[in-house]
Amino acid sequence: MRTKRLRDRLALLLAAALGAAGLAAVPAAQAADGSAAEIHGLKGEYYTQSAPGAFDFHELKATGFDPQVDFGTLEPRLAFATGQSDDVSVRWTGRLVPEKTGAHTFSITGDNGFRLWVGGRLAVDHWVDDWDREQTSAPVELTAGQSYDVKLEYFEHFGGSNLHLRWTEPGGGKEAIPQSAFRLPDGFDYNG
């Protein structure tokens, strides 16, 4: 019993420390039958760029789990993952499983550039060194319960950084894509 309490306290301490850095820790989950439960979120790969303003994916510095992409500031996360908060790039990958069938529209606002693929098709392409100019996709037809590959790339040049990925589901309003809609990519063995 003492070991369980100590483990739980250590897990809370780790979650608090990662939260302060803007990162997420999710405990390994198990389904009722003892098998691994499906984890909702995306794989995040954090890179430094080859030179200031290169906007490339030069050197992979960290790989982790991100529950969703809706960041008011990325500064602590970028600094923690790469050792710097400017001239870095991030690639999030996974799968998207919508709850509704029909046309979904994706929108992104960020500081600086970004591009989004859904189901292997480029939906938003704004690989531009500017900030806070919302970009919206054409409607993308999705089927409820079906899994679609999703990839989001982002670069930060200098100064502030934020990124907000949103969608408008059929009959709904624009909102951040919920963690429940994301699945980790095949082959990414995340254990919390």
Q: Regarding the domain delimited by 38-183, which CATH topology (the fold level of the hierarchy) does it fall under?
A: Toxin - Anthrax Protective Antigen; domain 1 (3.90.182)
pLDDT band for position 139 (cuts 50, 70, 90):
very high
Instruction: Give percent of the chain with pLDDT exceeding 70.
Output: 80
d(CA 137, CA 144): 19
pLDDT at 99 over 60: yes
Looking at residue 100, its pLDDT comes to: 97
Instruction: Tell me the per-residue pLDDT of 17-26, one tens digit each, with 9 for 90 and over.
Output: 444 444 444 4
Show me where the domains of the chain are located: 38-183
Mean pLDDT of the chain: 86
> What is the pLDDT averaged over residues 102-113?
97
What one-character DSSP code corresponds to residue 77?
A: H
